[in-house]
Amino acid sequence: MSAEGESGSAVSNFLRSFKVVAWSFIGIRKQSEFHTDGNSVKPVHVIVVGLLLALLFVLGLITVINLVV
């Protein structure tokens, strides 16, 4: 049970980090959620998700530019 609980918790934390980074990219956050997220997400997850979303953003821009030009 311990492995399942940790795995589910890790996935939950990673998805929470994804939500935090996605809202940060848009620039919309509630002050109360900001304080809650500071205690509940792991910095490593935020860094990994931020890098992945930044990479997807750049690849998306490159794709759009190549389709237009």
18-68 tens-digit pLDDT: 888 888 888 777 777 777 777 778 888 888 888 999 999 999 999 999 999
pLDDT given for residue 39 in this prediction: 75
Question: What global pTM score does this model have?
Answer: 0.70
Cβ pair 63, 31 in contact under 8 A: no
